[in-house]
Amino acid sequence: MNEYVQNAVNVAVGLVILLVILSVGAFVFSKLTRYNDSEQINKGNQAAGMYMGSKLLGLCIIVAMVSYSSQDWVSMLIWSAIGIVILCLVYVVFDFMTPRFKVCEQIAQGNMAVAQLLRSIIIGVSIVIGTFLM
């Protein structure tokens, strides 16, 4: 029975860490955007919703891969934080590399093509980052 309790505790701690990382990641990403994520999503902006969902999914991918290879909770937090920073840098670089349009403006205007492009980049890069951090 002790093994089941230990596993339940590990799952609970892992979920708390995941929620903390997602909250911090969403906060950091919202500071990078020049529009209010929540406001745009509440208005029904599907591009903003897709982009926010992609960011959170990307963070989940990184946390999943990091948690698989981490030996303790502190390592998991540290490597997940590094993953958040790298994912943010990818966004900044992508925004810089597209001088013909500003990503935030396009998302705020509901441009689904840009949101889908960002979704693919974020998910792909998250898999690569997670693999590097394993």
Q: Which of 12, 46, 32, 19 is closest to 119 using CA atoms? A: 46
Cα separation, 33 vs 56, in Å, equals: 14
pLDDT of residue 35: 87
Write out the two tokens for 20.
Answer: 């903390």
Predicted confidence (pLDDT) per residue in 110-121, tens digit: 999 999 999 999
Q: How does pLDDT run across 76-105, given as a tens digit for each residue?
A: 888 888 888 988 898 888 888 888 888 888
Q: Which residues of 95-122 are buried (b: 16+ CB within 10 A; e: fewer)?
A: beeeeeeebbebbbeebeebbeebbeeb
- The values of phi and psi at residue 65, to 5°, are -70, -35
pLDDT tens-place string over residues 39-90: 999 999 999 999 999 988 998 899 888 888 888 888 888 888 888 898 889 8
Identify the pLDDT of residue 123: 94
Q: What is the pLDDT of residues 9-30, one digit of tens each?
A: 888 988 888 888 889 988 888 8
Q: Spell out the domain ranges in the chain.
A: 2-133
pLDDT band for position 1 (cuts 50, 70, 90) = low
